[in-house]
C-alpha cells in the first residue's frame, strides 16, 4: 500500500467524472505526483487498480510525459533549460557551475537527498534566459551570485 | 437521406454512411490512399500521418483515416500539396530508419518499401547518424527477444502502434505497451515482463515493417522465394483460414488468409507457430514392422502386406468383432468416411471410435442429441446479437481461441455480457467476464441449481453439491432471466458421467431463458463434427443417420454389399477394456494415442500389449506406436487434401501444399491400400472422388445436404429430428465424493493454451513458449503448503506418482491442481483410473 487514503479517495471521485476512465489518467498522474514527488511503477500500479484501468495503460501514459520524474528525486528538482536561447546566454556555464557546486552530474541527486539536477528542453521563458525551474517555480536571468544565494537559502531551509 | 453524406473525392461523387471516414469513401471509389497505422479492425489513431489528403477550405492536410466524411467535402488525394505532404511524412519516417533491407526479414513484403517506392523521396537530406536503440550488445543486429517467440528491432519501428492495439483492442491482453515518447519510444511489457499473449504472432503478421519478427522465421529465407498455398488450420475446432508459406517440402511459416466470417485475419499462436510441427525432423520417416521384438524400417509394400495378412488371420480367429479401429478427430471427412467404410464393410465390425482422450465417451443417443443442436448453430459473426453469453464447462480461450475473440468483440461493443462457469476461473484480462468456479465434474449439480433457480425452486442442496454459493447462482438466474442468451456448452458437459442429463438440463435452461436463446456446442477438435457425421462412432452410419435396419440397407445398396454388421459395437473405452482382458484380436490406431492420452494409462497399456495384433498410423512415434507391431507414417496436414467441418458447422476444403515428405503417405491413401489388400474392390485417385461418393450417400440417407458444396467455407444444411429429452422432475442433486485426508487435492487435466495434444510440442517455437509439463496450483493453496513457484513436487494418487515442477495460476480453483496433457514425458494419465470419476492426489515438495 503506497497511496494514502486521501489520494485513493480522490482517484475514486475521478473514476466516473469522464465518459471514459482512461480520460482520468492525467489528473491521477498529478495526484500521485503531488503525493510522492515522482511516479514510481508501484504507485502507478496501485493508482491504475484504484481507477479500474489496466496497469499497462497507466505506466505507458506516465512514461510519455518526461516532465514527471519516474524515480525518487531530491527535495529540490533543479531543471535547467539548455535550449538555444538559454544556451546563447550561457546555460552550459550555469550547468557546469551547478554541477561543481552540488558535486553531482546532470541527472544525479546529492547524497543528502536535497537536490537533483536535470537539463530540460525549452521552458518558454526565452526572454529571461538563462533560467531554471525548481519544483514548480521559475528562477530567471540567473547569474552565479544568484545561484549561490538560492542554493544557500535552500540548504538552510531544510 | 439523413444518415448518408455526399462528398467529392478527386472530382468524383461518392455517398457514404455518416461516421465513415474520408479513407472509407476513397476506398469505395477504388482510390488507394497509402496507410501504415490504419486497420479496419482497429480504432483509427492517425499516428503515422501517411494518409494525409487535402480538403478544400481546411487550413492544412488532414489524416483521411480519422477524419469523418462531411456533406459537401471536396477532397483531393493527388493534388500537388497532398503528394508533397505525404512525401515529407515518408522522409520524416525514413530519417531514423536503418535501411537494413538486405538483412531484414520483411524485405520484399515491407509496406514501407512499397510506399517509399510509390510516394517517397529518392534520397536523404541528412548526414547525421541514425537513432539506434540497442537493448543489449550481445544480440546481433540490434534485435532483442521481446518474448519467447517474438523478436523486436526497435530501429525499424515506424510507430504505427498496430501491435499494441491488436493486443489490447482485439486480443484483450495487457502485455505489450509503447513506452516513452518520440524516437525514444520502445515496445515492451509492463515491468519488462516477456510478451507472451496467446495471440502474439498477429503482431508480426501485421507489422508494416520488420520491427517484429517471429523466432521461427528470423533470418531463414527471403519471403519472395516462398510459395503460398491456402489451407485450413487443424489445431482446434475454429477452422481458421491459413496460408502455408513453403519452399520445396519445407514449411516456413503460417499466416492468416483473412476470412472475415471466421478469423478476421487473426490466428492464435497455437495455429501459427504450433502448426509448424509438420516441419519437424523428428517425424516418422519410414513404415516400421516388428521383427524379433524390434521395430525395423521397411517398405510400404511389405508393411501393408504384413498388416493385411495379420488382420486376415485375426479375423479368422476372433471374428470381425475382435477387431477395433480408433481414429482421431483431426482426420478429414474423406479419411473418416473411408475408415468407417473399411471397418464396417471390409473388416465387418462396428467397433470404431474417434475419441480416445475421454473417460466418459458419449452414447449414441447423446451423440444424436449433440447433432440435433447443430441444426440451430450460430455463426461466430452473429455472437454480437446476443444480450448474454453463458459459457459452461469449457475454457474457450484454450479450446477455441478465435471464437473467444468474437466473444471479446461482443463484450467490448458494450451490448453483450459474458458469464462463464467452469472448474477454474475464466479471465479475459481486459474484457470483463463473470466467472463461477464449481467443483470439478460439478456440471450436473450446477446446471440443476441454475435450472431450479430459474424455475423459482429451492437450490440450496444442488448449489452446495456443485460447490458454488447459492446466492451467486440466484444472481445469475436473475441476470439471465428473460434475456436473449447464447449458451456455449463445453466438452465437460458431455464427457461426463451424467452427460445425457446435462444436455437435457441445458435444453431446459435454454427454454426458460429469453426468446431467441440458442445452445451452441463448440466442439473441441478440428473435425469432431465430421467424424460424427461420417460414421466414426459405432451408432452412427456415414451420412449422420442412426445405425438401424433401414439405414443399413440404404448404405448396403450404395456400397454394393449384402449386409453390414448388426447394430452394436464398442466405443474406445469398451474396446480398450476388452483388449486389456485379452478379448480383442487386433487394434488399429489411426492418428490416435490411447497410451499417451486415454485417462487410464494402465488399461491402455495393457490393452495394446494384450491385443494379438496392433498397428498404428501416425506422424510421430507415440507411446502407443512404440508398443505396436507395425507403424505407418502418416503425412501431416500441409501434405494432405480433404475437407473439415469446423465447430461452427462450416465445411472447408483444403489442398495439399506439397507431396508427403520422407516416405509418409496421406491418410486416405493408407486406408485405401490397406482396404484393397483386405479385399476391397473400389479405387479412388483423389479425395474429391471420395467426396463425390460421400455426397451421393448423404443425398440418399444422410441428414446433411452436400449437393451445394464447393471450394471455400460454407454452412452445411442439416436436418436432424428433435430427440426426446427427459422429464426433469425426478432430477436430484448428487453430491460428489470428497477428497480424503490422505489425498486432499482434486486432479484436473486438460490441454494447455498453446498446445494441441502432443503434436505442437514438436514445433521448434513451442519449446520456448510452453517448455514442459508443470503442476499448476492456486497460490493460496501453495502458500499453505509452503510451496514456491518452480519447486519440484511429487504428485501421487492411488495409481501412481509423477515428479514435476510447480507453477502458480490464480485461475485454478482452490483445492484442485491442474496438469496439462500435452507432454508425453509427463505421463499424466498414469495417475488416473477409468474406474473412478474423480482423481484425488497429494502433493509433496521434494
Grid cell 544565494 is found at A149
B179 has a chain A CB within 8 A of its CB:
yes
Cis before A130? omega within 30: yes
CB contact under 8 A, B191 and A63: no
| Contact state of B190 with A56 under an 8 Å Cβ cutoff | yes
Q: Of the candidates B174, B178, B179, which has its C-beta nearest A54's C-beta?
A: B174
A27 domain residue, yes or no: yes
Q: What is the phi-psi region of residue A2: left when phi exceeds 0, alpha when psi lies from -120 to 50, beta otherwise?
A: alpha
Contacts of B432 in chain A (CB under 8 A): none
Q: In angstroms, how far is CA B33 from the centroid of its own chain?
A: 36
Q: Closest Cα to residue B805, out of B775, B783, B782?
A: B775
Shared-domain flag, residues A84 and A150: yes
At B167 the pLDDT is 94
Q: Is the CB of residue B175 less than 8 Å away from at least one CB of chain A? A: yes
Alpha carbon distance B377, B473 (integer Å): 26
d(CA A107, CA A104): 8
Closest alpha carbon within chain B to A45: B190
pLDDT for the residue B241: 92
Counted domains in chain A: 2
Give the largest CA-CA distance in chain B.
92
Is residue B396 classed as helix, strand or coil in its secondary structure? Answer: helix
Residue A70 lies in a domain: no
B192 at interface of A, judged by CB pairs closer than 8 A:
no
Contacts with B, A 23-52, CB within 8 Å: 41
Residues of A in contact with B174 (CB under 8 A): 54-57
- CA angle, corner B422, sides to B416 and B425, nearest 5? 80
Across B68-97, b (16+ Cβ under 10 Å) vs e yields ebeeebebbbeeeebeebbeebbbebbebb
| pLDDT computed for residue B712 by the predictor | 52
A63 CB near a chain B CB, below 8 Å? yes
Of the candidates B355, B303, B357, the one whose C-alpha atom is nearest the C-alpha of residue B595 is B357
**Residue B709 confidence (pLDDT):** 53
| Total residues belonging to chain A | 158
Q: Is B343 left (phi over 0), alpha (psi -120 to 50) or beta?
A: alpha
Q: Kindly state whether residues A138 and A112 are assigned to the same domain.
A: yes
Question: Which CATH number is A47's domain given?
Answer: 1.10.10
Residues whose CB is less than 8 angstroms from the CB of residue B508 and which lie 6 or more positions away in sequence, other chains included: B451, B725, B728
Q: Rounded to an integer, what distance in angstroms lies between the CA atom of residue B29 and that of residue B26?
A: 5
Cα of B36 to nearest chain A Cα, Å: 22
B786 in A contact zone (CB under 8 Å): no
- Using the beta-carbon criterion (under 8 Å), do A57 and B177 form an inter-chain contact? yes
The CA distances from residue B273 to A103, B244, B259, B762, in Å, are 55, 12, 19, 10
Q: B323 and B586 in contact (C-beta within 8 Å)? A: yes
The per-residue pLDDT for B365 is: 87
Looking at chain B from residue 426 to 465, which residues have their Cβ under 8 Å from any Cβ of chain A?
A: 430
Q: Which residue has the cell 515491407?
A: B110
Its domain, for residue A27, covers: 5-64
Residue with cell 482421431: B328
Q: A56 and B174: CB-CB below 8 Å?
A: yes
* Pairing mode, strands B212-214 and B294-297: unpaired
d(C-alpha B282, C-alpha B527), whole Å = 25
Secondary structure string (H, E, C) spanning B674-698:
HHHHCCCCCCCCCHHHHHHHHHHHH
Residue A69 lies inside a defined structural domain of this protein = no
A85 assigned to some structural domain: yes
pLDDT of B843: 92
Report DSSP letters for B423-460, one per residue: SB---BTTB--EEEE--TT-HHHHHHHHHHHHHT---H
B169 — contact with chain A (CB < 8 Å)? no
CA distance B708 to B699: 11
Give the residues of chain B that fall short of pLDDT 50: 711
Interface residue A54 vs chain B (CB under 8 A) = yes
**What ipTM was assigned to the predicted interfaces of this complex?**
0.87
Residues 6+ apart with CB under 8 A from B260: B381
Alpha-helical regions (H) of B319-427? 333-341, 364-374, 396-399, 401-412
- Please give the pLDDT value at position B702: 62
> Nearest-CA distance from B179 to chain A in Å?
5
Phi, psi of B632 (to 5 degrees): -110, 130
The set of residues, in sequence order, having a beta carbon less than 8 Å from that of B476 and lying 6+ positions away, is B419, B434, B436, B450, B453
Q: For position B266, what pLDDT does the model report?
A: 94
Whether residue A99 is found in the same domain as residue A134: yes
pLDDT of residue B758: 86
Same domain, residue pair A123 and A148 = yes
Residue B45 forms contact with A (CB below 8 Å): no
What is the per-residue burial (b if ≥16 Cβ within 10 Å, else e) of B401-433? bbbbbbbbbbbbeeebbbbbbbbbbbebbbbeb
DSSP element (H, E) containing B486? strand B485-489
Cβ–Cβ under 8 Å, residues B211 and B105: no
- Whether A101 is in a domain gets the answer yes
CA distance B157 to chain A (A): 17
Residue A43: list chain B partners with CB under 8 A: none
Q: CA-CA distance, B356 to B574, in Å (whole number)?
A: 11
Q: Is the same domain home to A22 and A91?
A: no
Q: Across the interface, which of A55, A65, A66 has its CB nearest the CB of B190? A: A55
B352 membership: H or E segment, kind and range:
strand B352-353
CB B22 within 8 A of CB B54: no
The whole-chain average pLDDT of chain A stands at 92
Q: What sign does the CA torsion over B190, B196, B199, B200 have?
A: positive
A81 & A59 share domain = no
CA triplet B93, B99, B100: central angle to 5 degrees? 145
Do A58 and A112 sit in the same domain of this protein?
Answer: no
Residue of B nearest to A55 (CA): B190
Specify whether A80 is located in the same domain as A133: yes
What is residue B496's predicted lDDT score, i.e. its pLDDT? 87
Would you state the cell numbers that stand for residue B100, as one nine-digit string?
A: 537494413
Give B414→chain A minimum CA distance, Å. Answer: 13
**C-alpha cell, B726:** 427427459
Q: Residue B256's closest CA among B28, B431, B407, B39?
A: B39
Question: Could you give the C-alpha distances from B498 to B360, B505, B733, in angstroms and in order?
Answer: 9, 11, 11
Nearest to A60 among B175, B177, B191 (CB): B177
What are the Cα distances from residue B140, in Å, to B99, B152, B187, B211? 16, 12, 18, 14
Main-chain phi, psi angles of B607, to 5 degrees: -60, -45
Q: Print the SS3 string covering B589-631.
A: EECCCHHHHCCCHHHHHHHHHHCCEEEEEECCCCHHHHHCCEE
The three cell numbers of residue A123 are: 521552458
Closest chain A CA to residue B189 = A56
Q: Are residues A86 and A56 in the same domain?
A: no
A15 located within any domain: yes
The answer as to whether A80 is a domain residue is yes
d(CA B670, CA B341): 13
pLDDT digits (tens, 9 = 90+) for A84-93: 999 999 999 9
Could you give the 3-state DSSP secondary structure of residue A79?
strand
Are A90 and A147 in the same domain?
yes
Write down the pLDDT at residue B696: 82
Instruction: Give yes or no: residues A149 and A114 share one domain.
Output: yes
- The residue assigned the cell 507395425 is B630
CATH number at residue A93: 3.40.30.10
B180 contacts chain A (CB < 8 A) = yes
* C-alpha–C-alpha distance, residues B342 and B674, integer Å: 9
CB contact under 8 A, A63 and B181: yes
Q: How far, in Å, are B54, B72, B74 from residue B57 at the CA level?
A: 9, 11, 9
DSSP secondary structure code for residue B475 in this structure: H
Give the integer Cα–Cα distance in Å for B507 and B493: 12
Question: For residue A118, what are the β-bridge partners?
Answer: A79
Please, what is the Cα angle at B189 between A106 and B399, to 5 degrees? 180
B173 CB within 8 Å of a chain A CB: no
| A150 and A88 in a common domain | yes
> Taking the CA atoms of chain A, what radius of gyration do you get in angstroms?
18
Domains of chain B are 4-94 (3.10.20.740), 127-279 (3.30.70.20), 313-358+528-718 (3.40.50.740), 365-520 (3.40.228.10), 745-845 (2.40.40.20)
Amino acid at each position: 500500500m503506497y497511496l494514502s487514503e486521501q489520494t485513493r479517495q480522490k482517484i475514486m471521485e475521478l473514476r466516473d467524472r469522464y465518459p471514459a476512465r482512461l480520460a482520468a489518467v492525467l489528473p491521477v498522474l498529478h495526484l500521485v505526483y503531488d503525493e510522492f514527488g515522482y511516479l514510481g511503477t508501484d504507485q502507478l500500479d496501485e493508482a491504475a487498480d484504484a481507477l479500474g484501468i489496466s496497469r499497462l495503460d497507466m505506466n505507458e501514459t506516465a512514461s510519455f510525459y518526461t516532465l514527471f520524474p519516474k524515480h525518487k528525486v531530491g527535495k529540490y528538482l533543479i531543471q535547467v533549460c539548455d535550449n538555444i536561447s538559454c544556451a546563447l546566454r550561457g546555460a552550459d556555464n550555469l550547468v557546469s557551475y551547478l554541477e561543481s557546486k552540488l558535486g553531482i552530474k546532470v541527472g544525479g541527486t546529492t547524497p543528502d537527498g536535497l537536490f537533483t539536477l536535470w537539463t530540460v528542453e525549452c521552458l518558454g521563458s526565452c526572454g529571461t534566459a538563462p533560467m531554471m525551474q525548481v519544483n514548480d517555480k521559475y528562477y530567471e536571468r540567473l547569474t552565479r551570485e544568484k545561484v549561490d544565494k538560492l542554493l544557500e537559502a535552500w540548504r538552510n531551509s531544510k | 437521406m439523413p444518415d448518408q453524406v455526399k462528398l467529392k473525392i478527386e472530382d468524383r461523387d461518392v455517398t457514404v454512411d455518416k461516421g465513415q471516414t474520408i479513407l472509407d469513401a476513397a476506398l469505395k471509389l477504388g482510390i488507394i490512399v497509402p496507410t501504415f497505422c490504419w486497420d479496419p479492425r482497429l480504432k483509427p489513431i492517425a499516428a503515422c500521418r501517411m494518409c494525409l489528403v487535402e480538403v478544400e477550405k481546411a487550413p492544412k492536410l488532414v489524416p483521411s483515416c480519422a477524419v469523418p466524411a462531411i456533406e459537401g467535402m471536396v477532397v483531393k488525394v493527388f493534388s500537388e500539396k497532398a503528394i508533397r505532404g505525404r512525401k515529407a511524412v515518408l522522409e520524416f519516417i525514413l530519417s531514423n530508419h536503418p535501411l537494413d533491407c538486405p538483412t531484414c526479414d520483411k524485405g520484399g513484403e515491407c509496406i514501407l518499401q512499397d510506399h517509399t517506392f510509390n510516394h517517397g523521396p529518392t534520397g536523404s537530406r541528412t548526414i547525421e547518424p541514425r537513432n539506434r536503440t540497442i537493448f543489449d550488445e550481445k544480440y546481433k543486429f540490434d534485435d532483442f527477444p521481446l518474448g519467447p517467440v517474438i523478436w523486436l528491432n526497435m530501429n525499424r519501428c515506424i510507430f504505427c502502434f498496430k501491435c499494441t492495439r491488436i493486443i489490447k483492442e482485439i486480443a484483450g491482453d495487457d502485455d505489450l505497451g509503447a513506452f516513452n515518447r518520440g524516437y525514444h519510444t520502445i515496445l515492451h511489457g509492463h515491468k519488462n515482463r516477456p510478451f507472451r499473449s496467446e495471440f502474439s504472432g498477429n503482431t508480426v503478421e501485421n507489422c508494416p515493417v520488420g520491427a517484429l519478427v517471429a523466432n521461427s522465421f528470423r533470418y531463414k529465407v527471403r519471403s519472395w522465394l516462398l510459395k503460398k498455398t491456402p489451407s485450413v488450420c487443424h489445431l482446434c475446432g475454429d477452422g481458421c483460414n491459413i496460408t502455408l508459406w513453403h519452399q520445396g517440402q519445407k514449411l516456413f511459416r503460417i499466416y492468416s488468409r483473412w476470412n472475415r466470417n471466421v478469423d478476421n485475419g487473426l490466428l492464435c499462436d497455437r495455429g501459427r507457430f504450433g502448426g509448424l510441427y509438420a516441419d519437424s525432423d523428428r517425424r516418422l520417416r519410414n513404415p516400421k514392422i516388428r521383427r524379433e521384438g524390434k521395430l525395423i524400417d521397411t517398405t510400404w509394400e511389405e508393411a501393408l502386406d504384413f498388416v493385411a495378412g495379420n488382420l486376415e488371420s485375426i479375423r479368422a480367429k476372433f471374428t470381425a468383432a475382435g477387431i477395433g479401429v480408433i481414429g482421431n478427430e483431426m482426420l478429414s471427412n474423406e479419411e473418416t468416411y473411408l475408415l468407417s467404410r473399411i471397418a464396417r464393410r471390409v473388416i465387418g465390425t462396428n467397433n470404431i471410435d474417434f475419441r480416445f482422450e475421454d473417460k466418459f465417451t458419449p452414447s449414441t443417443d447423446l451423440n444424436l442429441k449433440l447433432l440435433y443442436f447443430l441444426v440451430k448453430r450460430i455463426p461466430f459473426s452473429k455472437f454480437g446479437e446476443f444480450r448474454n453469453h453463458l459459457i459452461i464447462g469449457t475454457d474457450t480461450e484454450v479450446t477455441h481461441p478465435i471464437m473467444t475473440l468474437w466473444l471479446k468483440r461482443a463484450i467490448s461493443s458494450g451490448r453483450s455480457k459474458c458469464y462463464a462457469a467452469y472448474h477454474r476461473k475464466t479471465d479475459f484480462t481486459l474484457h470483463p467476464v463473470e466467472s463461477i468456479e464449481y467443483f470439478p465434474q460439478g456440471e450436473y449439480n450446477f446446471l440443476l441449481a441454475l435450472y431450479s433457480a430459474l424455475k423459482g425452486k429451492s437450490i440450496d442442496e444442488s448449489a452446495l453439491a456443485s460447490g458454488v454459493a447459492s446466492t451467486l447462482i440466484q444472481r445469475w438466474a436473475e441476470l439471465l432471466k428473460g434475456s436473449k442468451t447464447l449458451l456455449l456448452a463445453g466438452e465437460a458437459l458431455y464427457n461426463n458421467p451424467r452427460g445425457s442429463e446435462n444436455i437435457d438440463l441445458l435444453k431446459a435452461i435454454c427454454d426458460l431463458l429469453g426468446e431467441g436463446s440458442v445452445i451452441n456446442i463448440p466442439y473441441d477438435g478440428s473435425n469432431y463434427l465430421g467424424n460424427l457425421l461420417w460414421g466414426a462412432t459405432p451408432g452412427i452410419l456415414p451420412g449422420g443417420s442412426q445405425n438401424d435396419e433401414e439405414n443399413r440397407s440404404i448404405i448396403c445398396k450404395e456400397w454394393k454389399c449384402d449386409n453390414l454388421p448388426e447394430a452394436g459395437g464398442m466405443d474406445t473405452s469398451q474396446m480398450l477394456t476388452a483388449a486389456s482382458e485379452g478379448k480383442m484380436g487386433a487394434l488399429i490406431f489411426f492418428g490416435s494415442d490411447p497410451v499417451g492420452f486415454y485417462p487410464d494409462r494402465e488399461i491402455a497399456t495393457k490393452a495394446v500389449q494384450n491385443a494379438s495384433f496392433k498397428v498404428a498410423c501416425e506422424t510421430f512415434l507415440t507411446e502407443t506406436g512404440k508398443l505396436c507391431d507395425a507403424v505407418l507414417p502418416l503425412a501431416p496436414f500441409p501434405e494432405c487434401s480433404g475437407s473439415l467441418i469446423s465447430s461452427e458447422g462450416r465445411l472447408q476444403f483444403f489442398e495439399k501444399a506439397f507431396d508427403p515428405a520422407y516416405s509418409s503417405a496421406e491418410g486416405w491413401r493408407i486406408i485405401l491400400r490397406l482396404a484393397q489388400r483386405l479385399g476391397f474392390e473400389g479405387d479412388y485417385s483423389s479425395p474429391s472422388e471420395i467426396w463425390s461418393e460421400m455426397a451421393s450417400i448423404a443425398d440418399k440417407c444422410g441428414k446433411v445436404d452436400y449437393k451445394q458444396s464447393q471450394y471455400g467455407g460454407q454452412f452445411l444444411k442439416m436436418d436432424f429430428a428433435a430427440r426426446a429429452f427427459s422429464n426433469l422432475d425426478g432430477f436430484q442433486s448428487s453430491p460428489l465424493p470428497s477428497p480424503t485426508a490422505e489425498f486432499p487435492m482434486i486432479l484436473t487435466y486438460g490441454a494447455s493454451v498453446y498446445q494441441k495434444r502432443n503434436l505442437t510440442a514438436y514445433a521448434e517455437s513451442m519449446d520456448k513458449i510452453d517448455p514442459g509439463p508443470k503442476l499448476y496450483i492456486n497460490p493460496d493453496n501453495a502458500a499453505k503448503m509452503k510451496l514456491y513457484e518452480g519447486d519440484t513436487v511429487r504428485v501421487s494418487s492411488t495409481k501412481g506418482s509423477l515428479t514435476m515442477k510447480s507453477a502458480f495460476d490464480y485461475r485454478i480453483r482452490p483445492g484442485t491442481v491442474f496438469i496439462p496433457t500435452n507432454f508425453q514425458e509427463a505421463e499424466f494419465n498414469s495417475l488416473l483410473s477409468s474406474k473412478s470419476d474423480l482423481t484425488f492426489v497429494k502433493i509433496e515438495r521434494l
